Amino acid sequence: MDFRVIAGVTATGLIVFSGTALAQPAPEQIRRGADVYERNCSPCHGARMQDPQGAFDLRKFPRDERDRFVVSVTKGKNQMPPWGGLLKPEDIEALWSYVISAESIYGH
């Protein structure tokens, strides 16, 4: 994970998704989400969200469905167990920040 890339991208300010202006998460928020992701999520969803052969491709998760993301992670979905007992709500928020920043970080 190269956080210089994150910092560079996030310095550009707002990113527009589906016509809705969303505030780009702060770099430290994305970094926290990347840490949670690397430890707990990458084994199934793929390192840096690449190679998601084992589970949903998070690069395709709709950017305007934050609530669905949070509920799925917290309570579990399909083969994914619930993470609400382990991750704090702030961790899951940070994960969301990381997921919606994938395109700007990795260019995919």
Partner 1 sequence: MKRFAMASVLCLAMNAHAQTLDELKNDGALNDAYRSDNVLTYGMGYHQQRYSPLTQINAKTIKRLVPVWNLSLDNNWGEQAQPIVYNGVMYVTNARHTVAIDVGTGKQIWRHTLDWPAETPRVVCCGVSNKGAALYNGRVYRTTLDAHVLALDAKTGKEVWKSKAAEWQEGYSLTLAPLVANGVLITGISGAEYGIRGFIDGWDTETGKHLWRRHTIPARGEKGNDTWPQDNNAWEIGGGSAWITGSYDPQLDLMYWGVGNPAPWASQSRAGDNLYTSSVLALRPKTGEIVWHYQFTPNDAYDYDACWELILGELRVNGKMRKVAMQLNRNGFLYVLDRATGELISAKAYEKVNWASSVDPKTGRPVETEIAKSIRDMKATEHWPSTRGAKNWQHAAFNPKTGLLYANTMHEGRMYKHLETKPFERGQRYMYIENLPMQRAAGEPVGHIEAIDPLTAEKKWRVPLTDFQIWSAMLASGDLLFTGKHTGEFIALDAATGKQLWQFQTGSGVNAMPVTYTYKGKQYVTVLSGIGGLYWNTNREALKDKVAPGGSVWTFALLPE
Interacting residues with partner 1 (CB under 8 A): 35, 38-40, 42-44, 46-48, 50-55, 57, 76, 79, 81-83, 85-86
Rounded Cα gap, residues 84 and 45, in angstroms: 18
* 21: β partners: 16
Cα torsion 80, 83, 89, 94: sign? negative
| Shortest reach from residue 3's CB to partner 1, in Å | 12
User: Which is closer to partner 1, CB of 83 or CB of 96?
Assistant: 83
| Shortest reach from residue 91's CB to partner 1, in Å | 11
| Shortest reach from residue 22's CB to partner 1, in Å | 27
Which letter does DSSP use for residue 22 in this model? E
